[in-house]
Amino acid sequence: MSQAFVDTNILLYSVDARYPRERALAQALIRELSLAGELVISAQVLSEFCAVIRRGKLPDVSVAVDLASYVDSLCAAAKVVDVTAGVVADAVRIGVAHGMSHHDAQIPAAAAIAGCGVIYTDDLQGAPAIGGIRYTNPLTHASDD
C-alpha cells in the first residue's frame, strides 16, 4: 500500500456500535494503515469527527468519554495534514472542476499534498478518482456473510 487518506465517516464508523460490521471493518482498516505507517487524515477530518461526537450524534460511543485521548492516539498513528492556504486554494479548483462542496473538495486537496493514492470513504461523490487519487469504499469490500 501507499499513503492512504481516511475520511471522517470511516473514523465515525470505527466508534459507532450501531453498525458492528462497518465498525469492525473501519477499525481493521485504521489499524492496518497505522501499523504500516500509511494512515493519513487531515485537521479538517479530526475537527469534523470531534464535532459529531461532541454533539452526541452517535449514541453509545464510548470514545466520547475521553475524546481528547482518542484524538491524541489518532494523531500519533497518522500523518495529519493541516488545512493550509494551499489546501484551501486547491480545494477551490477541485470543487469547481468536480462540482463538489468546498469542504468535500478539501479532502482530495489534503490527500494530494500527503501523496495519497487512495481516499477511503463511504461518501464517493460519484467520482472514481480525482487528480489520480482513487475513492474507495472499504465498507463494501468484505462479504456481508
SS3 6: strand
- In the predicted model, what is the mean pLDDT of residues 84-108? 94
State yes or no: pLDDT of 141 exceeds 60. no
- In the predicted model, what is the mean pLDDT of residues 104-124? 94
- For residues 63, 75, 102, 134, the Cα torsion angle rounded to the nearest 10 degrees is -100
Query: What DSSP string describes 42-63?
Result: EHHHHHHHHHHHHTT-STT-GG
Structural domains present in the chain: 4-136 (3.40.50.1010)
Closest CA to 112 of 139, 94, 99: 94
pTM above 0.75, yes or no: yes
Q: Confidence band (pLDDT; 50, 70, 90) for 65?
A: low
Give the containing element (helix H, strand E) for 129.
strand 129-130
**What pLDDT is stored for residue 68 in this prediction?**
85
Which amino acid would we find at residue 75? C
Q: 96 Cβ partners below 8 Å, 6+ apart?
A: none
Length of the chain (residues): 145
Q: Which three cell numbers stand for residue 130?
A: 480525482
- 100/143: higher pLDDT: 100
- 8 A C-beta contact, residue 103 and residue 44: yes
pLDDT-wise least confident of 55-59, 85-89, 124-128: 124-128
**What pLDDT is stored for residue 144 in this prediction?**
43
- 2-29 tens-digit pLDDT: 899 999 999 999 988 888 999 999 999 9
Bridge partners of 6, per DSSP, are: 120
